[in-house]
Amino acid sequence: MIEFGHLTHVGLRRDLNEDTYYGDSELGLWLIADGMGGHEYGEVASALAREAIVREIRGGATLAQAIRAADEEIIRASRRRNDSLPMGTTVVAARVTGTRFEVAWVGDSRVYLWRDATLAQLSQDHSYVQELIAKGAISVDQARSHPHRNVVTQALGVTDPETLNVETLSGELAPGTQLLLCSDGLTEEVDDRVIARVLAHTECSAQECVDGLVAAALDGGGSDNVTVILIRRQ
């Protein structure tokens, strides 16, 4: 049996929530899209991504195929609007089929796996600071306060379909395993040690854990929209 919790919050410094999310245990699909582009463009891009991915998955597409279709759809919508700047969105998605899971992502929204009392980040940010970390130019701690920490190198609607890097991972979702999907509004304010402490409270419901994580992001400053989904196999 799959239990999941979900919550989005505009944060404490934004007027508009450009995050969107979707969760359906029957379809076995969960996703978070974090829009960008200013004004209402980010909100439009994230909504287009959600609708396109859900539609494609219902039609039998793989996660990667669905995300690529969303990229193309947002680019077409942006061209129709004759926008001076493209609208874009990150995306992180998970599919659960039986006892197996698959995750996919573009941008810096993340997916974590909790198993055997250990938290592991499955996704690797498509971001400028992640490239600096990979080169050894800065540490993970330095990345948290880097002035360009919010610059993504891949995003739906912005990255050409020919060069879009949809990364995927799969594994077993054994009983007691948890998958955490989140926008960077969580990880900007809450470090992995705090996330691990919250997920360790397995006596709490998935929704209670999600509520606790969003509250921690707001306590940390709430500088961005924050969205969290926690998927747990009972």
pLDDT for 127 equals 82
In this structure, the number of other CB atoms found within 10 A of the CB of residue 80 comes to 8
- Distance, in Å, from the CA atom of 145 to the CA atom of 79, rounded to the nearest integer, reads 35
Structure tokens at 159: 């990255």
Residue 158, pLDDT score: 92
**Position 39 confidence tier, pLDDT thresholds 50, 70, 90:** low
Distance of CA 62 to CAs 36, 49, 67, 145, Å?
A: 25, 15, 9, 36
pLDDT band with cut points at 50, 70 and 90 for residue 128: confident
What is the helix (H) or strand (E) element at residue 180, kind and residue range? Answer: strand 178-182
pLDDT at 164 over 90: yes
Q: What is the DSSP letter of 230?
A: E
How large is the average pLDDT for residues 8-17?
95
Domain ranges, residue 6: 2-233
The pTM assigned to this predicted structure is 0.95
pLDDT band at residue 38 using 50, 70 and 90 as cut-offs = low
Q: Which residues, 6 or more positions from 33, have their beta carbon under 8 angstroms from its beta carbon? A: 19, 20, 21, 45, 46, 47, 49, 50, 89, 90, 91, 109, 156
In tens, the pLDDT along 42-68 reads 999 999 999 999 999 999 999 999 999
Higher pLDDT, 146 or 116: 116
pLDDT band at 150 (very low <50, low <70, confident <90, very high): confident
pLDDT (0 to 100) of residue 174:
94
**CATH number assigned to the domain comprising residue 55:** 3.60.40.10
Q: How confident is the model at residue 148 (pLDDT cuts 50, 70, 90)?
A: confident
- What percent of the chain stands above pLDDT 70? 98
Domain count, the chain: 1
Q: What is the pLDDT of residue 152?
A: 92
Q: For residue 141, what pLDDT is reported?
A: 81
